[in-house]
Amino acid sequence: QVQLVESGGGLVKPGGSLRLSCAASGFTFSDYFMTWIRQAPGKGLEWVSYIPGSSSYTNYADSVKGRFTISRDNAKNTLYLQMNSLRTEDTAVYYCARDLVERVGSGCPDQWGQGTLVTVSS
C-alpha cells in the first residue's frame, strides 16, 4: 500500500534552516507529482510547493518563494523540502502528499503522510 513518511522536523531558531524528507513506498514514485502542504497549529491547510515526477519545474506559495526549495530523488523514492531563512510564521505540521493522477499533475492530493512538526522559535 502507499506509504509516505516524513522526517526532519524539529525546533529551529528564526533565520535558521531545516531539510524535510518524505520517504515514499508502495507506488512508482517517479510517475507522480508530489507536494508539500502545511498546517499551522489550530489553523487550516496551506499549499507550500509542488513538483512533477521529472523535476522539470517547481511551484511555490508566495509566502515561501525564495526561501524554500522542493526537490526529489527518484532513485531513492524521496521528496525533500529545504527550508532556509525560517520565520516564526513557518511553524506548522508539514505534510507530503502524492497527486491523485499518474504522470499528469491533477493538483489534487490523494495520499498524505502523517506530517512532521516544524517549530520556529527563539
Partner 1 sequence: EIVLTQSPATLSLSPGERATLSCRVSQSVSSYVAWHQQKPGQAPRLLIYDVSNRATGIPARFSGSGSGTDFTLTISSLEPEDFAVYYCQQRNNWPYTFGQGTKLEIK
The correct pick among 31, 61, 77, 102 for binding partner 1 (CB under 8 A) is 61
Residue with cell 499518474: 102
CA dist list (Å): 32 to 47, 74, 75, 91:
17, 10, 14, 27
Grid cell at residue 73:
530523488
- The answer to whether residue 115 forms part of the interface with partner 1 (CB under 8 A) is yes
CB 81 within 8 A of CB 64: no
Q: How many residues bind partner 1 (CB under 8 A)?
A: 19
Select 29 or 50, whichever has its Cβ closest to partner 1. Answer: 50
- Cα torsion 89, 105, 110, 10: sign: negative
Dihedral sign computed on CA atoms, order 47, 22, 51, 14: positive
**Residue that is written with C-alpha cell 517517479 in the block:** 30
The smaller minimum CB distance to partner 1, of residues 2 and 16, is found at: 2
One character per residue 3-42, x = contact with partner 1 (rule: CB under 8 A): ----------------------------------------
Min dist CB 119 to partner 1, Å, is 17
Which stretches of the chain bind partner 1, using CB under 8 A? 44-47, 50, 59, 61-62, 95, 100, 106-110, 112-115
